[in-house]
């Protein structure tokens, strides 16, 4: 009797094709298919006999996981795994992996670009110039970078890359991360701050922590009120880290000076959202991850991780 091949299924994707994944999976001797799932029911139909899943946005709920007859591994295209029920996967013995390292430099570059654009007030100065006003001083107070404290919430790969860039601009640097040992921060020349100190002392606060029940709305009305009125807030991590209604209010009231956001609680950002009315907010459309090489890298790493999971090889980035 012929041995049944492993089957890897892409539940959904927004790529122009799936050639990268198909080549990697078939080279390993596995079967491969791709679907366009939007609902839990779609996923159940497409994956009942799958041994491994590659998932972009499709909901991998407890119901879905309970119907997976043979699945051993689920790999999420990207960093966040918000659409996968991790507890259910753990209960059913299914490994869940992400790809946290495919766009570290891109996100760090974008974070720093937003920060520097706001530090140097490029948007307000350009707007003033286009309106016909020529002045050789900025719109508001502009300290030198070397006089400012650049803080990251979190100290993972991306936060470390951001602070390396901040050091190049001669910012003073610090991080708030209860999971990073003092020895690591000391070795990197980064000062540790508590959450209270982070909000009170940061001149630039860049968010680089995962979304969880504890970090949802980490930045809220209370925390915004604790920040310097000259502070700059940057978020390229997860939209729900910030209560964006409270942020819009804080920006309009001058409780902080500027915000640069690439991610939002709801995407696309609704056209009626008050952030669009904030002249001191710089908004980009979740593009921080992108470069011409980041997308193929993401796809290759995800497919290779799924293959490893079925071959019994040590996984690179298991989250559950």
Tell me the two tokens of residue 313: 């090889």
Write the pLDDT tens digit of every residue in 71-84: 999 999 999 898 99
| Residue 84 DSSP label | B
The pLDDT of residue 3 is: 65
Burial readout 28-56 (b: 16 or more C-beta within 10 A, e: otherwise) = bebebebbebeebebbbebbeebbbbbbb
Whether the upstream peptide bond of residue 229 has omega within 30° of 0, thus cis, is no
In this structure, CATH architecture of domain 104-283:
3-Layer(aba) Sandwich (3.40)
Report whether 204 contacts 152 (CB < 8 A): no
Query: Alpha carbon 320 to chain centroid distance?
Result: 18
Please report, for the chain, the start and end positions of each structural domain, with discontinuous segments joined by +.
7-102+293-311, 104-283
pLDDT of residue 33: 98
β-bridge mates for residue 97, sequence order: 75, 318
The answer to whether 47 and 306 are in contact (CB under 8 A) is no
Q: Identical fold at 7-102+293-311 and 104-283?
A: yes
**Separation CA 281–CA 272 (nearest Å):** 15
Q: What is the pTM of this model?
A: 0.92
Neighbours of 230 (CB within 10 A): 15
Domain 7-102+293-311 -> CATH class? alpha beta
Each residue's pLDDT tens digit in the chain (320 positions)?
446 799 999 999 999 999 999 999 999 999 999 999 999 999 999 999 999 999 999 999 999 999 999 999 999 999 989 899 999 999 999 999 999 999 999 999 999 999 999 999 999 999 999 999 999 999 999 999 999 999 999 999 999 999 999 999 999 999 999 999 999 999 999 999 999 999 999 999 999 998 889 999 999 999 999 999 999 999 999 999 999 999 999 999 999 999 999 999 999 999 999 999 999 999 999 999 999 999 999 999 999 999 999 999 999 999 99
* Per-residue confidence (pLDDT) for residue 4, from 0 to 100: 76
Residues annotated as catalytic (active site), given as ranges? 238, 267, 286
Q: Report how far apart, in Å, the C-alpha atoms of 117 and of each of 121, 141, 258, 320 are.
A: 6, 14, 10, 38
- Integer angstrom CA distances of residue 72 from 15, 30, 78, 232, 312: 24, 14, 19, 44, 10
**Burial grade of 131 (CB within 10 A; 0-12, 13-18, 19 or more):** exposed
**Per-residue tokens: 183:** 């020895």
pLDDT at 1: 43
């Amino acid at each position: 009797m012929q041995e049944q091949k492993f089957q890897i299924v892409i539940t959904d994707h927004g790529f122009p094709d799936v050639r990268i994944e198909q080549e990697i999976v078939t080279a390993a001797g596995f079967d491969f298919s791709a679907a366009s799932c939007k609902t839990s029911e779609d996923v159940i139909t497409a994956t009942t006999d799958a041994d491994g899943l590659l998932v972009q946005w499709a909901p991998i709920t407890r119901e879905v996981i309970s119907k997976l007859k043979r699945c051993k591994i689920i790999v999420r295209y990207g960093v966040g795994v918000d659409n996968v029920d991790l507890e259910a996967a753990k209960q059913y013995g299914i490994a869940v992996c992400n790809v946290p390292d495919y766009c570290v430099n891109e996100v760090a570059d974008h974070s720093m670009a937003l920060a520097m654009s706001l530090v140097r007030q490029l948007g307000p100065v350009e707007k003033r110039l286009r309106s016909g006003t020529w002045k050789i001083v900025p719109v508001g107070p502009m300290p030198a970078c070397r006089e400012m404290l650049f803080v990251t919430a979190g100290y993972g790969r991306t936060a470390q890359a951001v602070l390396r860039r901040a050091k190049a601009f001669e910012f003073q640097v610090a991080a708030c991360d209860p999971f990073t040992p003092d020895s690591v921060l000391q070795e990197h020349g980064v000062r540790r701050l508590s959450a209270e100190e982070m909000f009170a002392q940061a001149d630039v606060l860049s968010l680089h922590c995962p979304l969880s029940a504890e970090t949802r709305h980490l930045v809220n009305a209370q925390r915004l009120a604790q920040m310097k009125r000259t502070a700059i807030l940057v978020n390229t991590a997860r939209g729900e880290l910030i209560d964006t209604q409270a942020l819009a209010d804080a920006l309009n009231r001058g409780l902080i000076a500027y915000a640069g956001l690439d991610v939002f609680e709801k995407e696309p950002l609704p056209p009626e959202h008050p952030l669009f009315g904030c002249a001191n907010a710089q908004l980009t459309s979740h593009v921080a991850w992108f470069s011409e090489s980041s997308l193929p890298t993401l796809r290759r790493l995800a497919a290779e991780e799924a293959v490893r999971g079925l071959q019994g090889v040590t996984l690179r980035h298991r989250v559950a």
